[in-house]
Amino acid sequence: MKLLVFAASHRPESFNRKLAAAAANYIRSKSVDVDFAEYAEFDMPLFKDNHEKPEATFTFAKRASAADGIIISSPEYNWSYPGSLKNIIDWTSRINPNPIKAKTVLLMSASTGARGGILGIDHLKTPFEALQTHLFNRVFPLGNCQQAFDENNTLIPKQRDMLHSILDDYVTFTGKLSNI
């Protein structure tokens, strides 16, 4: 099994990147193949439906297509998902056949606020439904994230155990669905 993992944030010190890295490390330890991407690798100009697809569209499509599932840790902006992340989805949706159809998707969000980015996660589900991915039945909204990592960027035990439990189940879920 192979999983594509990335954070929808450009800052190196981003909490979402730390969360994505924590997830990647754990599933690697379970002998799952991980393709960890930097968000900048998927930078695309604004979608314009009368323009040609930029190269990064195919970069994203190939890496997503080569994986059985996609784990995204995304910040919430203005009670919804980042425009830049939807921009990736908008370009990708113009590739035929749909490169992410039937891939599993696990959504996470780190936020310094109490809500853990739950509204961003809720909105982000819909375009992934439109593209017929299999959304995992649990999500990981990490609130007050500035208190959730220790000085080694390791999640504190309570949050870590929750994350590992979700990842274990997500890997099982992806294994079951990887051929349909």
Contact residues toward its own copies (CB under 8 A) are: 9-11, 43-44, 46-51, 77-90, 93, 102, 114-116, 118-119, 122-123, 125-127, 129-135, 137-139, 143-144, 169, 172-173, 176-177, 180
Residue 71, beta-bridge partner list: 5, 106
The residue assigned the tokens 């002998």 is: 31
* Spatial separation of the C-alpha atoms in residues 133 and 92, rounded to whole Å: 13
Q: Indicate the residue among 25 and 173 with the shorter CB distance to its own copies.
A: 173
Q: Indicate the residue among 35 and 43 with the shorter CB distance to its own copies.
A: 43
| Dihedral sign for Cα atoms in the order 108, 111, 116, 121 | negative
Residue 114 Cβ vs its own copies, minimum distance, rounded to whole Å? 4
Residue 112 Cβ vs its own copies, minimum distance, rounded to whole Å? 12
Residue 43 Cβ vs its own copies, minimum distance, rounded to whole Å? 6
Residue 78 Cβ vs its own copies, minimum distance, rounded to whole Å? 4
How far, rounded to the nearest angstrom, does the alpha carbon of residue 131 sit from its chain's CA centroid? 15
Residue 174 Cβ vs its own copies, minimum distance, rounded to whole Å? 11
* Spatial separation of the C-alpha atoms in residues 10 and 125, rounded to whole Å: 21
| Contact criterion met (CB below 8 Å) for 123 and 80 | yes
* Spatial separation of the C-alpha atoms in residues 129 and 102, rounded to whole Å: 10
DSSP 156: P
Give all strands (DSSP E) within 10-103, no chain letters: 33-37, 69-73
